[in-house]
């Protein structure tokens, strides 16, 4: 530590003094040389040298080979092509009973316990009900569509569980801790009114599976950090995600981020939601060659969420002017929202092209509903989003349709307006797509899919303005339209000051970076 500190002081002083021309030299030392041995002894007085390999011995070459193998694996980027929950990659949809969200089963802890968690690309934190003070009911008898009870986690019952301390880098609420050794508290607040989860951060094992090149399945465990959700509120007590949420966002604490940082997968994942209420989730998946892509957008210089730029919104054969907006790709939002001014342009064009009788129903959250006679053949105008470089995202089914009653069918456009200056692409627009969140290349990609196989493709809806027939796979309950995605942190905050960075010339920034890397090595 003294060597690092002395070197840092010398170089920092040189930078502060503003020397114009500096010459640096360094000496390369082999990791198993006598000089390296002496250095380690000077740093670690109790270091045992019995295990130090003899030069050119078998053990010497084994250690060198092992180190090269690790470096090569890091260079390749990942240990597994794909990973998915040990219970399988399938996602589940329960309609309105669980607030129109998609879920998957995951196993945590030793011994492992299963949790049915909602998939939320709009947040980062994985949390499960834990040592509950205020949680949703977990008994299967409370829900109509479950064949087993939901679970509650307890750190004391898992031999691999560890509390994160308040001094941990992921502890954002350390200021309220009494000491740095205290368990790290957390609280996550979501977009729906008064909806939140709070408790403590825990580290434990997430059970995952992988299919190798020989189609053989293997199992492994990865350390993840998640919320021990002792107290939930709002939507989480009223049917939404009673057994927890898996945040899939770009933050450092999300499951995809932790798996990628550990070198287990490429920094990417995919989700697929099918029309038959199932789907798939795969960690490490970067999609297929035929998929379309659009870049993620930075917010205040940071990629804090999965934002993309919509250049225009098309209804039928018309791509409307002044309908461009930024949109959050969010699987934790049941429906799709656009800024109010753009919403008005879209629905007026949709209403004109549909040419059907419009009705107003107070029990429905949507503003554009239609009373359609079952005797009439009604074509619903197609919809599609246009991203950069003319990349199109057709919407398979923009309508919610009630079953026929007394010779009429009520069908509503499931598009909502928002006062925010950005929109949200929710689950209703994601159906029948294999969607890839490629964080490594900062791309959102999509291709039509039936979700039966990660490579299975379907032909997307036509982009020629042709109409979509009235959907036949109607849902039978009126949904709650409220999104469960959290408020996007920093969205309205001012940009960080660049003054400090501008005071240091680029070559000095590079030098400091190299020195920091060297200090970490020694």
Token output for 160: 């691999």
Q: Hey, what's the torsion of the CAs at 450, 455, 456, 458, to 10 degrees? A: 80
Diameter of the chain measured on Cα atoms? 91
Question: Which residues, other chains included, contact 499 with Cβ-Cβ below 8 Å and sequence gap of 6+?
Answer: none
Segment holding 255, helix H or strand E:
helix 255-261
Nearest to 187 by CA among 101, 250, 127, 106: 127
Question: Which residues, other chains included, contact 97 with Cβ-Cβ below 8 Å and sequence gap of 6+?
Answer: 143, 144, 145, 239
Distance CA 518, CA 507 (A): 17
Taking residue 377's Cβ as centre, other Cβ atoms within 10 Å add up to: 8
Q: Catalytic pick from 120, 124, 243, 480?
A: 120
Distance CA 87, CA 295 (A): 32
Question: Which residues, other chains included, contact 448 with Cβ-Cβ below 8 Å and sequence gap of 6+?
Answer: 432, 433, 434, 457, 458, 459, 460
Distance CA 170, CA 253 (A): 7
Helix, strand, coil fractions of the chain, as percent rounded to 5: 20, 35, 45
CA angle 65, 70, 74 (to 5 degrees): 145
Q: Hey, what's the torsion of the CAs at 369, 190, 451, 214, to 10 degrees? A: 180
Active-site residue 330, yes or no? yes
Residue 207 and residue 106 in contact, taking contact as beta carbons nearer than 8 Å: yes
Q: Hey, what's the torsion of the CAs at 346, 93, 459, 309, to 10 degrees? A: 40
What secondary structure does DSSP assign to 430-466, as a single string? HBTEEEEEETTTTEEEEEE--SSSTT---PPPPSSSP
Distance CA 412, CA 421 (A): 24
Cis geometry, peptide bond prior to residue 111 (ω within 30 degrees of 0): yes
Active-site residue 99, yes or no? no
Q: Catalytic pick from 330, 420, 438, 480?
A: 330
Residues noted as catalytic = 120, 330
């Amino acid at each position: 530590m003294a060597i690092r500190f002395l070197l840092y002081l010398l170089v920092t002083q040189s930078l502060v003094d503003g020397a114009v021309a500096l010459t640096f030299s360094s000496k390369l030392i082999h990791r198993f040389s006598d000089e390296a041995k002496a250095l380690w002894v000077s740093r670690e007085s109790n270091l045992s040298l019995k295990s130090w390999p003899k030069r050119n011995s078998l053990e010497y070459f084994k250690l060198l080979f092992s180190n090269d193998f690790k470096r090569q694996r890091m260079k390749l980027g990942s240990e597994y092509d794909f990973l998915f929950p040990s219970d399988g990659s399938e996602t589940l949809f329960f309609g309105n009973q669980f607030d129109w969200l998609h879920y998957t089963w995951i196993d945590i802890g030793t011994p492992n316990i299963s949790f049915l968690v909602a998939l939320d690309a709009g947040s980062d934190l994985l949390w499960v009900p834990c040592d509950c003070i205020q949680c949703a009911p977990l008994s299967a008898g409370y829900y109509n569509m479950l064949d087993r009870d939901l679970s509650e986690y307890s750190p004391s019952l898992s031999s691999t569980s560890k509390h994160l301390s308040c001094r941990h880098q992921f502890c954002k609420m350390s200021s309220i801790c009494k000491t740095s050794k205290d368990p790290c508290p957390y609280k996550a607040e979501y977009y729906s009114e008064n909806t939140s989860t709070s408790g403590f951060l825990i580290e434990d094992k997430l059970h995952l599976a992988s299919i190798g090149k020989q189609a053989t399945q293997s199992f492994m465990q990865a350390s993840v950090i998640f919320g021990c959700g002792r107290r939930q509120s709002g939507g989480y007590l009223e049917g939404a995600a009673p057994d927890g949420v898996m945040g899939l966002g770009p933050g450092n604490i999300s499951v995809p981020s932790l798996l990628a940082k550990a070198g287990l997968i490429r920094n990417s994942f995919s989700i697929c939601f099918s029309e038959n209420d199932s789907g798939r989730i795969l960690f490490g998946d970067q999609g297929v060659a035929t998929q379309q892509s659009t870049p993620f957008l930075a917010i205040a210089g940071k990629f804090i969420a999965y934002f993309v730029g919509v250049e225009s919104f098309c209804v039928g054969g018309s791509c409307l002017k002044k309908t461009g907006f930024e949109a959050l790709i969010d699987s934790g939002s049941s429906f799709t929202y656009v800024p109010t001014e753009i919403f008005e342009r879209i629905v007026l064009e949709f209403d004109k092209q549909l040419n059907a009788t419009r009705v107003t129903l107070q029990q429905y959250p949507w503003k554009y509903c239609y009373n359609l006679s079952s005797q009439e053949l009604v074509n619903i105008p197609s919809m599609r989003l246009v991203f950069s470089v003319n990349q199109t995202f057709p919407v398979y089914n923009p309508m919610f349709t009630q079953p026929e009653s007394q010779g009429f069918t009520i069908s509503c456009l499931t598009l909502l307006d928002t006062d925010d200056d950005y929109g949200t692409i929710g689950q209703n627009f994601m159906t029948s797509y294999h969607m890839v969140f490629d964080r490594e290349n900062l791309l959102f990609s999509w291709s039509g899919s039936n979700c039966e196989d990660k490579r299975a493709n379907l032909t997307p809806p036509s982009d020629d303005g042709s109409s979509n027939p009235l959907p036949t796979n109607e849902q039978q309950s009126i949904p709650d339209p409220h999104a469960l995605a959290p408020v996007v942190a920093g969205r309205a905050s001012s940009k960080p000051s660049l003054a400090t960075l501008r005071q240091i010339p680029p070559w000095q920034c590079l030098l400091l970076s190299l020195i920091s890397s060297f200090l970490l090595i020694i």
